[in-house]
Amino acid sequence: MIKVSGLYKAINGQDILQDINLEVEDGEILVILGQSGAGKSVLLQHLMGLRKPDKGNVVISGVDITNLSERDLLRVRKNIGYLFQEGALYDFMDVYENLAFPLEEHTDLNEGQISQRIKNVLQTVGLEGVEGKYPVELSGGMRKRVALARAVILNSKILFCDEPTSGLDPIRSRDISDLIRNLSKQLQCTTVVTSHDVANSFRIADRLALIHEGRLIAVGIQGEIASSKDPFVRQFFKN
């Protein structure tokens, strides 16, 4: 389980996150929706311990990560798969090398096992035979798939995806959304996705949260959140 309690964060004297309280159950997919600049990425950075809150705390699988040393944080992060907004593959490595990297870093698998694992994980994200391609040779949708493959290659039970549909056309956005949901359920991951894309968030989520100017203003399942009386929430879901 992931639990955020009373979290506040100011950056350069500006309040960015205010009184964030949030729980994500084991195996659940929570989508955090919000406009650009609302605080989604900064919140995800707190969930990974990449930023320290001014107040409040973050508990991941029973461990309060708020005051962990950098070394203990690395151990926690090893168990978190993370899909960066820009995909963030290494441009100078081909797909195989991009995927082998975390395995070489964090496991003692031999070369044969690594190559088998890479083949399997590529199959899981619907790609085949792209091992020798460099990121620039792939379409945006394929790059996202490879990045997603890399995020789950260590069999992490926690998956974070920051704006997985940004920069993709509507069809690719739907595909990657369905893939994230299927993959998350198949691997039984506790998953947090951020997005500004309402329709695809409904496809992915078990539960949704809406963040506005650094505050969570609605949390619930689709029916609950879409029938909110709050004017901003109504406006957000109407567009």
Ligand X SMILES: Nc1ncnc2c1ncn2[C@@H]1O[C@H](COP(=O)(O)OP(=O)(O)O)[C@@H](O)[C@H]1O
Q: Which stretch binds ligand X (CB under 6 A): 9-17, 23-31, 75-83, 224-232?
A: 9-17
Q: Which does 42 bind (CB under 5 to 8 A by kind): Mg ion, ligand X, none?
A: ligand X
* Site for Mg ion contains 165 (CB under 5 A): no
* Site for ligand X contains 12 (CB under 6 A): yes
Q: Which does 38 bind (CB under 5 to 8 A by kind): ligand X, Mg ion, none?
A: ligand X
Give the nearest distance from C-beta 166 to ligand X in angstroms.
Answer: 10
45, two tokens: 């950075």
Give the nearest distance from C-beta 140 to ligand X in angstroms.
Answer: 19
* Site for ligand X contains 239 (CB under 6 A): no
Q: Which stretch binds ligand X (CB under 6 A): 10-18, 66-74, 198-206, 229-237?
A: 10-18
* Site for Mg ion contains 184 (CB under 5 A): no
* Site for Mg ion contains 156 (CB under 5 A): no
Minimum CB distance to Mg ion smaller for 16 or for 125 = 16
Minimum CB distance to Mg ion smaller for 131 or for 162 = 162
Considering only residues 23 to 42 of the shown chain, the ones binding Mg ion according to CB under 5 A are: 40-41
Considering only residues 33 to 72 of the shown chain, the ones binding ligand X according to CB under 6 A are: 34, 36-42
Cβ contact 203:178 at 8 Å: yes
